[in-house]
Amino acid sequence: MTIEGYKRVKNQKPSRFSLQNMLRCLEDPENPSAGPYLRFINLTGNWHPNMELKFTRFKQLVFYIVMTLFFSHYLKCVIGLNLDDLLFILQTAPFHMGTPKSIFFRKYHHLWQKMIDYMSRTELKQLSDEDEEVINVMNEYIRRSRRVLYPFWLMAICCNISLFTEPYQKHQIVENGTDIYVPLFHFYLPFNQDVPPGYYYSMFIQTIIGNIMSSYVISWDSLVISTFIFFAGQLKISRVYCTRIIDPESKERSHENIVACHRFHTSLIEHQKLFQKLISHVMFIYLIVVSINIGSCIIQISNASGDLPVMMGAMVFVLGILTQLLMFYWFSNQVTVESLTVSSGIFESKWITADAKIQKEVALLQHTMSKRLCFRAGPCNEMSLNTFIQILKTSYSFFTLLKETK
């Protein structure tokens, strides 16, 4: 697909209402791979390239209100030492990751803008070059991104419905002749939240604020996973460039190709390090949160051996957490795998026909291209499938230990 094709996407008017047309409208010709996810994160207010718009300022106000209410919820749980509330926070910890994800995204907003500008600039240049092989690789990784993340959005919507409808199903539990109303969160609000009508006002506010927080989580996850896929795809394109570095008819063109290939790959490594900086802190917090969350769910499963619905619900929740974690570690691992195959493209070129000086440049290029790229969650935890498997083994060992000590 050429750049004109992406412009047609922008100008195209759907002839009828359908899911396919709706998804097509999410595409952005200025951001070929990250377009739908930037639209989503812009809707949440975390991505705000134009602060002059009134709607953008309104979204900023909503963000500060959401953060204030959730911090009041955490403060209330700590001050009141309510174990049930603390356990509920542990059980829904991945949902509460919207707080650090949003805060760190806004803190490094200028770096995220630099990262996204690089992605869009790189893809638009490749489209304008109209290199069929390169565009095929690009189309392939963009399609993969859509196939992964659109179902992820659907799964997140289903999880939201399950999370936010549960208290409505449980409210008005009678205990010793007294009606007990189950809330979602314990925000500081200027009215009594324990009995109607204050309870229903509170639940309405909690449902809206909770869905906004969930949108922060989903939009951040989508952008990060799509960026992983971008790096894996661009490493494949870098390998394509490596196969073309030698022009048997021109020593000068061979030298220019080597320089261009080296410059492209060096820029890719530079922005990979930038992306590592942007996600490292959040992924480290996420790893700790998920580990604690899995532990609390395993305890819930072991204590609910006689209650099949509760046990099945906890098992499904654990499966959902591990699926979300697997997406991060799988696509991060894909970047590492692709980085190890880039230099092999050099040996597919006609380097053997070049003169000694060009072959020396090829050897230096091969050394540069053989650099192993990886992402880390924190200072030492590599985001790879081996690490994910270790997390599963640790969780199983914890479950076995808990079962044997009961």
Q: Which of the given ranges, 24-33, 196-205, 215-224, 385-394, has the highest pLDDT on average?
A: 215-224
Residues ≥6 apart with Cβ < 8 Å to 229: 33, 141, 144, 145, 148, 331, 334
pLDDT in tens, 187-202: 777 777 777 777 778 8
User: Length of the chain in residues, anyone?
Assistant: 406
pLDDT tens-digit map of 237-265: 999 999 989 888 888 899 999 999 999 99
Q: What are phi and psi of 175, to 5 degrees?
A: -135, 115
Q: Note the pLDDT of residue 14.
A: 47
| Cα–Cα distance for residue pair 27/384, rounded to 1 Å | 30
pLDDT above 70 (res 169): no
pLDDT, tens digit, 9 for 90 and up, residues 368-384:
888 899 999 887 788 98
- 92 in Cβ contact with 166 (< 8 Å): no
Structure confidence at residue 1 (pLDDT): 44
Q: How far is residue 108's CA from residue 117's CA, in Å, rounded to a whole number?
A: 14
Over range 173-182, report the average pLDDT: 60
Q: Does 231 score more than 70 pLDDT?
A: yes
pLDDT of 26 strictly over 90? no
Mean pLDDT to the nearest integer, 131-156? 91
> CB neighbours (10 Å) of residue 158?
11
- Report the alpha-carbon distance of residue 301 to residue 342 in Å, rounded: 45
Q: Of the candidates 219, 244, 228, which has an alpha carbon nearest to the alpha carbon of residue 337? A: 228
State the amino acid at position 346 in one-letter form. Answer: I
* Domain layout of the chain by residue ranges: 31-405
For 198, counting Cβ atoms within 10 Å of its Cβ (0-12 exposed, 13-18 middle, 19+ buried), the class is middle
Contact 235, 335 (CB under 8 A): yes
pLDDT of residue 159: 72
Lowest mean pLDDT: which of 7-16, 32-41, 198-207? 7-16
Compute the average pLDDT of residues 316-339.
86
Asked if residue 316 has pLDDT above 70, the reply is no
Q: What is the pLDDT of residue 336?
A: 94
Sorting pLDDT into bands at 50, 70 and 90, what band is 2?
very low
Q: Is 351 helix (H, G, I), strand (E, B) or coil?
A: helix
Q: Give the number of other CB atoms < 10 A from CB of residue 146.
A: 16
pTM metric for this prediction: 0.87
pLDDT of residue 304: 61
Cα separations (Å) of 111 from 101, 106, 257, 310?
15, 10, 30, 43
Average pLDDT score over residue span 98-110: 91
pLDDT score, position 232: 95
Task: Calculate the average pLDDT of the chain.
Answer: 82
Q: Which of 24-33, 86-95, 192-201 has the highest mean pLDDT?
A: 24-33
